[in-house]
């Protein structure tokens, strides 16, 4: 295709079919335009930057060579898929990324047929691509399953579980290992050292070398002996790769920014390889944008930024973040107790543990993207007398649920769970929301579950957890900044299972768990203004529940409303169960529960998310008025 030199090539490419009409020689220019478009868009929206920049050429090459969407392309995590979105019909909406009603920051099935599988949690791509490949095999479809997985994501056990089963897919499965030698932070562990060795011990693969190897792989009886000799020789020379041992044909390393190498290698993988194939592509995170190249970890995810300077928009100085307060409080505990140690699953900066590592490197463990291992590792540490804090986001702890139940709770081991990003998470959307931790933890025998109402409470909870040796204990706190309350100079040890009255009244009792307390207090002001005397309690614990306090409030108030930032099955369920077990509802007590709605809430601005969820002060007032059968003017209606 010859384009008008004045027209950017990217303007001629709305879908991969347009891309495939270009000559190979035009692809580098297209890649540069795609990179510039992505930088400009993320400058306006914020979001994931470094990972997408690193796969611009790879994105172009995959769509050029493979027959997407019939070939099912699965991006692991999906945070690197912005260039993919731009050339799969979504360029006109790319500046809506992560905004309410706009494009998701990850792949999403409902967005495009080019996103055959949604993601955001890592290391699922090989399993999903294998599913596509095998389904096609069974139904006679011709499409392949293609997984693009990063070296960080490759540290999770699930990737190996999938590879262990891959043989059945034959050559319908292609795994592209995108090795940029970075997770969000520098990668950890034996696998990353192994990949580095592979890359340094072999020259980048070019078509010529690949073709030589492929010819030896052809299924020709005459070549079998030679093939065996070749494999033997390769094994002797550089060791059979781990991936070969798992049944993959290993190709690489390939320079992931050189389209002259990438395209022919992928074409050969598409056409000539017999079994499942793993292409090891080496890329640079942040490629082509100097500030991101210079600090790949800082530009993994960004705020809006100035494209010329790379400077990110700073949020107004305000209260410290919950994450920062947690890290500081934990460091203070570790200073007085050398048994305290901390575990993160590849999120040292996200959990604040980077600061802890700086002080106590020998007591911090980054286990890689391996939440399951992290939890059982903590259980082992606890069983041997250490006091481990597992700092894992609510959403990622879901992956380690069996370990929480089987390895920690059943054995009643004192593992401390610091659960960050509990509740709604704004632009990261449904996949990252911490909606379920109270439900899945407070149903477990032995488990203590707390929720911090503000950052001062968080400090008390870290202290309480540090001193709690009799079994597992968890505390949850949200994304973002605290309320600005002063932090305690000396942390308090909270009495397990005891809440506190924050404001006393006589008619309505609002039972709050966690940071909706501020809205409950606002609602109490508005109810008082209507002449409805309101008590506000911060329960602090959902398990064990402060039954004595709740019983007292139930016997002295007309309406009880529970408020929490979690799904059904949390505080509301525990309070209702207690009330009905004790027959407290028999006398006509009105109990209402306010919680997250029964839906996966899309990405949006946090305040709008709370409005959608119905968890702001006006919703609380409305709920109370309805329960009292008042009309909106506050006048009591006749009871039915």
Q: Which residues, numbered 398-417, are part of the site for ligand TPP (CB under 6 A)?
A: 399
Q: How far apart are CA 269 and CA 65, in angstroms?
A: 10
Q: What are phi and psi of 145, to 5 degrees?
A: -110, 125
Question: Does the footprint of ligand TPP cover residue 182 (CB under 6 A)?
Answer: yes
Q: Which is nearer to ligand TPP, 35 or 516 (CB)?
A: 35
What are the Cα distances from residue 360, in Å, to 81, 337, 340, 353, 356?
A: 36, 12, 10, 10, 6
Asked whether the beta carbons of 584 and 554 are under 8 A apart, the reply is yes
Question: Does the footprint of ligand TPP cover residue 537 (CB under 6 A)?
Answer: no
Residue showing the smallest CB distance to ligand TPP in the complex: 150
Strands 72-75 and 145-150: parallel
Q: Which residues, numbered 558-587, are part of the site for ligand TPP (CB under 6 A)?
A: none
Candidates 59, 68, 107, 122: give the one binding ligand TPP (CB under 6 A).
122
Q: Measured from the CB of residue 419, what is the shortest distance to ligand TPP in angstroms? A: 14
> E strands of 504-580, at which residues?
508-513, 534-538, 541-543, 559-564
Q: Measured from the CB of residue 254, what is the shortest distance to ligand TPP in angstroms? A: 16
Query: Quick check: is 399 catalytic?
Result: yes
Question: Does the footprint of ligand TPP cover residue 152 (CB under 6 A)?
Answer: yes
Question: Does the footprint of ligand TPP cover residue 49 (CB under 6 A)?
Answer: no
Question: Does the footprint of ligand TPP cover residue 62 (CB under 6 A)?
Answer: no
Q: Which is nearer to ligand TPP, 392 or 560 (CB)?
A: 392
Q: Which residues, numbered 323-352, are part of the site for ligand TPP (CB under 6 A)?
A: 345-347
Question: Does the footprint of ligand TPP cover residue 151 (CB under 6 A)?
Answer: yes
Candidates 42, 129, 153, 266: give the one binding ligand TPP (CB under 6 A).
153
Q: Which is nearer to ligand TPP, 5 or 190 (CB)?
A: 190
The stretches of 205-336 forming alpha helices (DSSP H) are 207-217, 224-238, 242-245, 259-272, 290-294, 322-336
Q: How far apart are CA 331 and CA 66, in angstroms?
A: 51
Question: Does the footprint of ligand TPP cover residue 516 (CB under 6 A)?
Answer: no
Catalytic residue among 72, 90, 285, 363: 285
Q: Which is nearer to ligand TPP, 153 or 453 (CB)?
A: 153
Structure tokens at 157: 């056990």
Spatial CB neighbours of 162, under 8 Å, sequence gap ≥ 6: 126, 127, 130
Question: Does the footprint of ligand TPP cover residue 289 (CB under 6 A)?
Answer: no
Structure tokens at 394: 């609510």
Question: Does the footprint of ligand TPP cover residue 79 (CB under 6 A)?
Answer: yes
What is the strand order of the sheet 72-75 is part of? Answer: 72-75, 145-150, 173-179, 277-282, 249-255
Candidates 180, 323, 349, 534: give the one binding ligand TPP (CB under 6 A).
180
Candidates 68, 80, 127, 372: give the one binding ligand TPP (CB under 6 A).
80
Q: How many residues bind ligand TPP (CB under 6 A)?
A: 24
Candidates 41, 42, 77, 554: give the one binding ligand TPP (CB under 6 A).
77
Catalytic residue among 37, 57, 371, 564: 371
Q: Which is nearer to ligand TPP, 174 or 369 (CB)?
A: 369
Q: Which is nearer to ligand TPP, 356 or 393 (CB)?
A: 393
Dihedral sign for Cα atoms in the order 278, 111, 132, 22: negative
Longest dimension (CA), the chain: 94
Q: Which is nearer to ligand TPP, 80 or 562 (CB)?
A: 80
Q: Which of 407, 288, 329, 366 is nearest to 35 (CA)?
A: 288
Candidates 35, 257, 285, 421: give the one binding ligand TPP (CB under 6 A).
285
Q: Which is nearer to ligand TPP, 116 or 150 (CB)?
A: 150
Catalytic residue among 144, 387, 399, 479: 399
Q: How far apart are CA 562 and CA 572, in angstroms?
A: 6
Query: Quick check: is 565 catalytic?
Result: no
Question: Does the footprint of ligand TPP cover residue 184 (CB under 6 A)?
Answer: yes
Question: Does the footprint of ligand TPP cover residue 241 (CB under 6 A)?
Answer: no
Q: How far apart are CA 246 and CA 405, in angstroms?
A: 31
Q: Which is nearer to ligand TPP, 255 or 371 (CB)?
A: 371
Query: Quick check: is 371 catalytic?
Result: yes
The stretches of 485-558 forming alpha helices (DSSP H) are 517-529, 547-556
Q: How far apart are CA 554 and CA 638, in angstroms?
A: 23
Q: Which of 322, 352, 350, 320 is nearest to 334 (CA)?
A: 352
Q: Measured from the CB of residue 432, what is the shortest distance to ligand TPP in angstroms? A: 8
Dihedral sign for Cα atoms in the order 340, 193, 289, 427: negative
Catalytic residues: 285, 371, 399
Binding site residues, ligand TPP, CB under 6 A: 51, 54, 77, 79-80, 120-122, 150-153, 180, 182-184, 285, 345-347, 369, 371, 396, 399
């Amino acid at each position: 295709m010859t384009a008008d030199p004045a027209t950017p090539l990217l303007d001629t490419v709305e879908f991969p079919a347009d891309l495939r009409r270009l000559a190979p020689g035009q692809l580098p220019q297209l890649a540069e335009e795609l990179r510039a478009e992505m930088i400009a868009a993320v400058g306006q929206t914020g979001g994931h930057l470094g990972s997408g920049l690193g796969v611009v050429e790879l994105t172009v090459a995959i769509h050029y060579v493979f027959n997407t969407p019939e070939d099912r392309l699965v991006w692991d995590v999906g945070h690197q898929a912005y260039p993919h979105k731009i050339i799969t019909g979504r360029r006109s909406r790319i500046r809506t990324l992560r905004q309410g009603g706009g494009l998701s920051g990850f792949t999403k099935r409902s967005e495009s047929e080019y996103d055959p599988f949604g993601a955001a949690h890592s290391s699922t791509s090989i399993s999903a691509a294998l599913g596509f490949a095998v389904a096609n095999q069974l139904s006679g479809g011709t499409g392949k399953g293609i997984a693009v997985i990063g070296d960080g994501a490759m540290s999770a056990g699930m990737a190996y579980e999938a590879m262990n089963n891959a043989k059945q897919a034959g050559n319908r499965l292609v795994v592209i290992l995108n090795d940029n030698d970075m997770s969000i932070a520098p990668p950890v562990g034996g696998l990353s050292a192994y990949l580095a060795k592979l890359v340094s011990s072999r020259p980048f693969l070019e078509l010529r070398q690949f073709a030589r190897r492929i010819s030896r792989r052809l299924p020709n009886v005459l070549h079998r002996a030679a093939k065996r000799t070749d494999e033997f020789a390769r094994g002797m020379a550089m060791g059979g790769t781990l991936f070969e041992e798992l049944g993959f044909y290993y190709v690489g390393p390939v320079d992931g920014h050189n389209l002259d190498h990438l395209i022919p290698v992928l074409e050969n993988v598409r056409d000539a390889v017999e079994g499942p194939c793993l292409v090891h592509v080496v890329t640079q995170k942040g490629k082509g944008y100097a500030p991101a190249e210079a600090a790949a970890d800082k530009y993994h995810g960004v705020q809006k930024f100035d494209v010329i300077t790379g400077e990110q928009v700073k949020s107004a100085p305000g209260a410290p973040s919950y994450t920062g307060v947690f890290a500081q409080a934990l460091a203070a505990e570790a200073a007085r107790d050398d048994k305290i140690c901390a575990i993160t699953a590849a999120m040292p900066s996200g959990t604040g543990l980077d600061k802890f590592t700086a002080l106590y490197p020998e007591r911090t463990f980054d286990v890689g993207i391996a939440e399951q291992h992290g939890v059982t590792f903590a259980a082992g540490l606890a069983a041997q007398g250490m006091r481990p804090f597992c700092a894992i986001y609510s959403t990622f702890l879901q992956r380690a649920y069996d370990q929480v139940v089987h390895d920690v709770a059943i054995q009643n081991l004192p593992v401390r769970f610091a659960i960050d990003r509990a509740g709604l998470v704004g632009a990261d959307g449904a996949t990252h929301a911490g909606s379920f931790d109270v439900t899945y933890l407070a149903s477990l025998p032995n488990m203590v579950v707390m929720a911090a109402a503000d950052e001062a409470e968080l400090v008390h909870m870290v202290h309480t957890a540090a001193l709690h040796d009799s079994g597992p204990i968890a505390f949850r706190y949200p994304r973002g900044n605290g309320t600005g309350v002063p932090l305690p100079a000396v942390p308090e040890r909270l009495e397990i299972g005891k809440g506190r009255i924050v404001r006393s009244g006589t008619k309505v009792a609002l039972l709050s768990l966690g940071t909706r307390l501020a809205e409950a207090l606002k609602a109490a002001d508005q109810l008082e203004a209507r002449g409805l005397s309101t008590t506000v309690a911060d329960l602090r614990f959902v398990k064990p529940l402060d039954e004595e306090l709740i019983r007292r409030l139930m016997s002295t108030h007309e309406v009880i409303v529970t408020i929490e930032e979690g799904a059904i099955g949390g505080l509301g369920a525990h309070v209702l169960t207690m009330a009905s077990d004790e027959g407290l509802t028999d006398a006509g007590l009105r109990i209402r529960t306010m919680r997250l709605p029964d839906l996966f809430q899309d990405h949006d601005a946090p305040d709008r998310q709370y409005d959608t969820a119905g968890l702001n002060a006006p919703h609380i007032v409305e709920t109370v008025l309805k329960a009292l059968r008042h009309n909106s003017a506050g006048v009591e209606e006749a009871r039915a």
